[in-house]
Amino acid sequence: MTRLSGKVTIITGASSGIGRAIALRFASEGARLVLVDRTEEVREGGEPIETVLRREGHDIAFLKADVATEEDVERVVDEATRRFGRLDVLVNNAAIGVGKPLVETSLAEWNRVLAVNLTGPFLMARAAVRQMMTQEIRNEARGRIVNISSQHGMIAAPEDIAYGTSKSGVVYMTRQIAADYARHGIICNAVAPGKILTGKTGRAVEERWLEYSRNRTPWPRFGRPDDVASAALFLASDEANFITGENLLVDGGWMAS
């Protein structure tokens, strides 16, 4: 498959979960990847993504970086363009949560969640767009951004005010970038996952939250990382050239019910 043949793509939060699934899917479609994470450790267990993709013969780079740090972000984009010559796609996936309601959330926790989940995509998008603006148009676009938002950017995130607020900001940022830079040939969309089981432990799989999600999801299963990867692939491909500023729900009907 060659839907992303030769497209230079940065994916943040690529070591585990949804980011890992996106990396595997994009590699299978011919993308040249710059994978970014703070660690190579796989939360769900297994081999590091870099090891897996290199063994399969894919052309990749893995960079340790904190997306909330301006210097790290600039280094990532500089390295991607130095190595591959341009930047076609950015996938802003890196995110964290603290799982606390308003009165239990410390200022430090609030600041860190917004730094990773909102400032991180801002910094990555800013650096990416600056690079994309210098490039020639190919297949109608100079570059594409795919942000990973959440259905909890549109409705309350139960007992997780920092996470929900940050994802709401990502939804807005997606529309703003799309509107401001469409005339320059830059496409920006988001994917909003519903309940996705990545293999992560802890709060995400506590029975009370699983039951809450079952009650909200009409489709008779929860989502899988590959469901999100498929949506991200579509938005990153030339098939989505006339789609920009959208927040594509991948939620099994959560927001429809």
Q: Which residues are catalytic?
A: 163
Distance of CA 15 to the CA centre of its chain: 12
How does DSSP assign the chain, residue by residue? --TTTT-EEEEES-SSHHHHHHHHHHHHTT-EEEEEES----TT-SS-HHHHHHHTT--EEEEE--TT-HHHHHHHHHHHHHHHS---EEEE---------GGG--HHHHHHHHIIIIIHHHHHHHHHHHHHTTSPPBTTBSEEEEEE--GGGTS--TT-HHHHHHHHHHHHHHHHHHHHHGGGTEEEEEEEE-SB--S--GGGG-HHHHHHHHHH--SSS-B-HHHHHHHHHHHHSGGGTT--S-EEEESTTGGG-
First CA to last CA distance, the chain: 35
Q: Are 121 and 114 in contact (CB under 8 A)?
A: no
Report the C-alpha gap between 181 and 98 in whole angstroms.
33
Report the C-alpha gap between 145 and 236 in whole angstroms.
7
